[in-house]
Every structure is written in structure tokens, then in C-alpha cells.
Amino acid sequence: MPQRLMLLDTASLYFRAFYGLPDTIRRTDGTPVNAVRGLLDMIARLTTDYHATHLVACWDDDWRPQWRVDLVPTYKAHRVAEAKPGGTDVEVVPDALEAQLPMIRKALELAGIAIVGAAQHEADDVIGTYATHAAMPVDVVTGDRDLFQVCDDERQVRVIYTARGMRNLEVCTEETIVAKYKVLPQQYADYATLRGDASDGLPGVAGIGEKTAASLLLKYGTLDALLAAADTPDGGVSGPVRARLSAAAAYLEAAPAVVRLVRDLQLPAVEEAGALLEPVAGDRRAELERIATDWNLGGSVRRLLDALDLRAQPG
């Protein structure tokens, strides 16, 4: 089987699993397990349908890094449940999902699935680093548009976009991004900076929406080139747009570093991280089968084990 690396935006997927299945699915002690079930089923299907040979569950070691907040204070501010000065802010997560996160990690570890995070960085940055430096084709699974930045046809990096649900997955390539947003993947961070993103608390430039942002980047190529042209009397930037860019100057200086993925984290190599998918055997398999019963995980563990067993079969 040709090698192919799959990178999971894990939080994006377990949130989707949690809201996609009723939290009335519970263990005998009353703890919900809908997110655990849903995530394991997603992994079984995704790795099988997209022929992954390697898999990394990328983790938010810091879902709202302070260095990003220092640059743009509104960054994800609406999702803070409790501020932790000097530490990681507590994210708004339903109690019924919070209780499942240790179970998710344990199930993934028993299945031999690599979990990789990085201090003071988000899962997006882990994905950005692996996708940029991988020596094999890459599929990034996410519902986050920011990760469109990694699409690269030459290097065979694409995004499996989950925003429309697991029954309507969209395989995004450079062609897809251009068709939908009228910008190249390498322009997407500048596009998002100009347009803004309410889901991340990024205000964007007042008066510049998606169409204007795309048209400006089509003409000037990059945000830096646009700002340089706006500072030049004969740069071709209209008076109203120049005024809007000038009014947002402080934001435009800080925001690009917030929006752009970090692509140079010091992470374990794919093989060192244990990303190679293999059948689960011995004590780990027995423990997975035990928790399948004890945690009322239905057939999700069996489906995951079956998907991993396929890795032992030729072709």
C-alpha cells in the first residue's frame, strides 16, 4: 500500500462526534460516551476510505496560546470559560464532553494511534508542521477553514473538510480553494486576515468582505504588497480601500502572525511519533475489547480494530 499520512484536527472531530450523537449514550455509571464512540467510528471510516498508512491525532496542548492573544486580544475570547493568568485559559466545553476527553486519549493510546501536541501551540500548528515537512502524501481532516493554507497539489497535501458532516465530506485541493474563495491556498491566511473570522474572534478590516478581499489579493498577490501599494499614491488602491486599511493598521500589523499556521515546530518525526498504523494485538487489544464492553462503546471499537487489522493484509 502506498504510504499516506492522515492528520486529525482531533478537537474538531470530537466536538463533531459529541454534537452528532445523543449524550444519552452512556456507561453504566452514567458518564456519556457519545464523543468516544463517534470519534472511533470516524477514525475507522477515514483511515479505510482514504487508505491512510500513518495517522497522527493532533492535539491542542494550548487551544488559545498567549502569544496569539498578545497580538490580537479578541482571539477566541468568546470561547473562554475561565481566564488563567500565566496559564492556559479554560475553554467553553460541555461537561458531558469534558468527561470524555480522558477516555478518548486512553482509547487512542490503546489503539496505538499517535497523539502529538506542542506546548503553547494549537493542533493547527502541529498539522501545519507535519503537512509542510512530510515525505509522503498528506490528508488533513478538519472542519476548520484556516487549514486550507496547507493544500499543496505538488506535494499531494489536501484537506478532508468535515463542515457538512461525515456523510458529505469534501476533498479540498488547490483547485477547490480557488473555485470557492478565488484565492490560492498560500493566500488564504492573508484573505482570512482581511475578511476576518467571527468564530476565532478576528475582526477583519471593516468594510472589506470576502469578495473585496479576494479581488485585492488577485490584483496584488499578498497582504504586504497590498499595504505597500496603499502607501503609494500611484499604487492603484482606491481611496475608500486605503482609508479602511489605514484605520485597521494596528490590526493588520498583528493579525497575520495569528492567522498563519506555525510550520516549524520541533516535533517527533512521523515514525518516531508512532504514526504507522498496525493491527492491535496482545494486552492492548484485550484492554480495548474490555473497555468496549465496560464503557458501552457498542461496535465502535470492533470497527476500529477491523480497520487496523486491514493494515496486516497485502494490498
Instruction: Please report, rounded to a whole number, the percentage of residues in the chain having pLDDT higher than 70.
Output: 99
As given in the structure block, the three cell numbers for residue 279 are: 493491527
Model pTM score: 0.96
Task: Report residue 311's pLDDT band, with 50, 70 and 90 as the boundaries.
Answer: confident
CA Rg, the chain, in Å? Answer: 21
Half-sphere exposure of residue 280, counting CA atoms within 13 Å on the CB side?
A: 22
204 neighbors 244 (Cβ within 8 angstroms): no
pLDDT tens, 164-191?
A: 999 999 999 999 999 999 999 999 999 9
Largest Cα span, the chain: 72
The reported pLDDT for the residue numbered 261 is 98
DSSP string, 12-72: HHHHHHHHHS-TT-B-TTS-B-HHHHHHHHHHHHHHHHTT-SEEEEE--SSSS-HHHHHH-
The reported pLDDT for the residue numbered 87 is 79
Task: Report residue 315's pLDDT band, with 50, 70 and 90 as the boundaries.
Answer: very low
* For range 142-149, the mean pLDDT: 97
CA proximity to 45, closest of 275, 274, 296, 303: 303
pLDDT at 127 over 90: yes
pLDDT tens, 63-118?
A: 999 999 999 999 999 999 888 887 788 899 999 999 999 999 999 999 999 999 99
Task: Report residue 312's pLDDT band, with 50, 70 and 90 as the boundaries.
Answer: low
Q: How far is CA 78 from the centre of its chain?
A: 19
* For range 219-245, the mean pLDDT: 96
pLDDT at 313 over 70: no
47: exposed, middle or buried (Cβ count in 10 Å: 0-12, 13-18, 19+): buried
C-alpha–C-alpha distance, residues 306 and 191, integer Å: 42
pLDDT tens, 248-291?
A: 999 999 999 999 999 999 999 999 999 999 999 999 999 999 99
